[in-house]
């Protein structure tokens, strides 16, 4: 019996030894093959000079960003959003405790830092009022009574997933804010939650174009026939890539997305850099008038501000034609936007940041006496209450965010929006990855995030002694200078141009 057991154990050991030798042989053979490939290839100098081990460089570069995010970067160091900002958005969406202990980790002496001026007599609870609904497009057949000053910015179905759109639609309805479709057209998932919808018309006219990619009035009427569609936004440019059209990689162009957009499935969706029929400010006003006449609903445009002389010319033309010809709103996007695919040179170097462009456009509008006619919507990295409050103090009527609501959906800033590999299901059409995004749960988180932003902006406003957020003014904010001392925002960006109507001040 013992002899048989010894023989069995000996056989097992011999088999394991053979298996080990076989595995080692396979590994050795693979390494030899890789060595030969690396040594003979000419594209990569590191791999040619250091075959096999040179391949670890790319691996470590890829893994490095994840290690930095979780282990090495401080709370206020990361870009485009640091851990403190992301964590606030996450806690706000979960509706958990938003208080901290032992002081701020924010460096309050950095040049450009914003500080709100608390008043000696803060607003008491009994004096608080809700921000009133604002009318957009008072001269339209169907004006829009906008409920919320804080709304969901443009993210197209295609750029983000079906489940993400569903969660945003339901969450926006719960929150009472609008949801912008982005340039990818109107999907049934935008409508299913019953939220107010802003339909964006991009340079490719997806969803409202004829076979020649021109604007189709009949399709415009079809979209406008939906009661949920409240406004139309003509996209001239966007923060991620000013001066270049939308980019949706072919791997994300599914059959359904292709049908909605009117393009072939599986091919890159590349929009023109601009609208072929809009080459002057006069053309822009003509297009806005056409869309508004066809749909009967408020129509404005979205742009990143670079060269801004055309805005001045546009307002001059408005005064010549009459205030009814003005765009009903202007969405000012920041040059540091970017929730979708974009070339790095445009992401890094093109377009003014909102901190410079927003006061520029607000002051120009007010200079021409159009403050009550043209609403200003601020968009771009405004994901925390301080950012939103700053934009309102600067003169914006509304604030949009895309990435803030992406965080409420569970986004972890994996930086894979331009691929089909988003690990949280927000920007992927991979069904397995989408399972991680529960629509019911995330729609509630969207509403919570909205509620906590609005409440926290109100808290800042009340600290400054005003009754509601839109009462914030530039005099309530100071900006830290290079000396470490602050100056009033109203001194940095004085607005002396406000007048009721008529011609611009000289």
Q: State the CATH number of the domain containing residue 220.
A: 3.20.20.70
Helix axes 354-367, 385-394, angle to 10 degrees: 30
> Could you tell me if 275 and 153 lie in one domain?
yes
Average pLDDT, consecutive stretches of 10 residues, N- to C-terminus, the chain (506 residues): 69 84 90 89 80 78 64 63 83 88 81 91 86 94 97 93 96 98 95 97 93 93 97 90 76 88 85 92 97 98 91 96 97 79 73 92 96 95 94 97 92 81 88 91 96 96 95 95 89 67 42
What residues contact residue 98 under an 8 Å CB cut-off, 6+ apart?
88, 91, 92, 452, 456
Q: How many other CB atoms are found less than 10 A from the CB of residue 212?
A: 7
CB 179 within 8 A of CB 169: yes
Residue 482 lies in a domain: no
Domain assignment present for 425 = yes
> In terms of residue numbers, what domain contains 41?
2-72
**Alpha carbon distances (Å) from 375 to 149, 369, 454:** 11, 12, 19
Cα(459)–Cα(448) distance, integer angstroms: 16
Examine the domain organization and report whether 301 and 207 are in the same domain.
yes
Q: What is the number of domains present in the chain?
A: 2
In this structure, are 298 and 162 located in the same domain? Answer: yes
Q: Is residue 488 part of a domain?
A: no
Cβ contact 222:287 at 8 Å? no
Residues 30 and 161 occupy one common structural domain = no
Task: Tell me the backbone φ, ψ of residue 498, rounded to 5 degrees.
Answer: -70, 130
Same domain membership, residue 32 and residue 177: no
- Do 66 and 135 reside in the same domain of the chain? no
Interstrand relation of 144-146 and 150-152 (parallel, antiparallel or unpaired)? unpaired
Is 155 found in the same domain as 24?
Answer: no
**Shared-domain flag, residues 325 and 431:** yes
Q: How far apart are CA 421 and CA 402, in angstroms?
A: 19
Nearest to 204 by CA among 272, 286, 303, 280: 272
Q: 256: left (phi > 0), else alpha (psi -120 to 50), else beta?
A: alpha
222 within domain boundaries: yes
Write the secondary structure of 189-227 as one string of H (helix), E (strand) and C (coil).
HHHCCCCEEEEEECCCCCCCECCCCCECHHHHHHHHCCC
User: Sign of torsion, CA 49 54 58 64?
Assistant: negative
Q: How many CB atoms lie within 10 A of CB 486?
A: 18
What is this structure's pTM?
0.86
Handedness of CA 172, 177, 183, 187 (dihedral sign): positive
Asked if residue 68 and residue 136 are part of one domain, the reply reads: no
In a domain, residue 504? The reply is no
Region of 476 on the Ramachandran plot (φ > 0 left; ψ -120 to 50 alpha; else beta): alpha
* Domain end call among 30, 56, 72: 72
């Amino acid at each position: 019996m013992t002899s048989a057991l010894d023989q069995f154990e000996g056989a097992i050991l011999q088999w394991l030894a053979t298996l080990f030798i076989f595995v080692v042989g396979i590994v050795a053979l693979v390494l030899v093959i890789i060595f030969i490939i690396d040594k003979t290839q000419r594209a990569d100098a590191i791999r040619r000079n250091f075959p096999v081990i040179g391949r670890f460089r790319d691996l470590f570069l890829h893994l490095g960003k994840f290690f930095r995010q979780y282990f090495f970067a401080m709370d206020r160091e990361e870009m485009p959003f640091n851990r403190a900002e992301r964590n606030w958005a996450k806690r706000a969406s979960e509706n958990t405790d938003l208080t901290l202990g032992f002081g701020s980790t924010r460096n309050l002496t950095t040049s450009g830092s914003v500080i709100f001026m608390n008043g000696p007599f803060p607003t008491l609870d009994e004096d608080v009022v809700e921000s009133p609904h604002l009318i957009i497009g008072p001269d339209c057949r169907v004006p829009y009574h906008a409920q919320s000053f804080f709304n969901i910015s443009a993210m197209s179905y295609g750029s983000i997933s079906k489940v993400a759109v569903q969660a945003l639609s339901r969450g926006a309805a719960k929150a009472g804010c609008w949801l912008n479709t982005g340039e990818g057209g109107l999907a049934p998932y935008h409508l299913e939650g019953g939220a107010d919808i802003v339909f964006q018309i991009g340079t490719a006219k997806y969803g409202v174009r004829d076979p020649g990619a021109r604007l189709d009035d009949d399709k415009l009427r079809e979209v406008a026939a939906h009661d949920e569609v409240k406004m139309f936004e003509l996209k001239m440019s966007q923060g991620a890539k000013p001066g270049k059209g939308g980019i949706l990689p072919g791997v994300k162009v599914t059959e359904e997305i292709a049908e909605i957009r009117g393009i072939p499935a599986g091919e890159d969706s590349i929009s023109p850099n601009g609208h072929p029929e809009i080459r002057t400010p006069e053309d822009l006003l003509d297009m806005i008038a056409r869309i508004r006449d066809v749909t009967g609903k408020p129509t404005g445009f979205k742009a990143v501000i670079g060269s801004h002389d055309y805005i001045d010319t546009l307002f001059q033309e408005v005064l010549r034609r009459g205030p009814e010809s003005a765009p009903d709103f202007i969405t000012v996007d920041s040059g540091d936007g970017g929730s979708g695919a974009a070339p790095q040179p445009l992401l890094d170097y093109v377009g003014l940041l909102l901190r410079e462009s927003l006061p520029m456009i607000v002051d120009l509008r007010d200079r021409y006496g159009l403050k009550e006619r043209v609403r200003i919507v601020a968009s771009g990295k405004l994901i925390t209450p301080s950012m939103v409050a700053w934009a309102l103090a600067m003169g914006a009527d509304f604030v949009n965010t895309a990435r803030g609501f992406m965080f409420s959906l569970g986004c972890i800033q994996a930086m894979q929006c331009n691929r089909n590999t988003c690990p949280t299901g927000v920007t992927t059409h991979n069904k397995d990855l989408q399972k991680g995004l529960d629509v019911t749960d995330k729609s509630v988180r969207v509403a919570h995030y909205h509620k906590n932003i609005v409440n926290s902006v109100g808290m800042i406003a009340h600290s400054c002694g005003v009754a509601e957020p839109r009462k914030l003014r530039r005099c309530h904010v100071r900006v830290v200078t290079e000396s470490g001392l602050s100056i009033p925002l109203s001194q940095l960006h004085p607005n002396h141009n406000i007048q009721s109507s008529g011609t611009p001040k000289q």
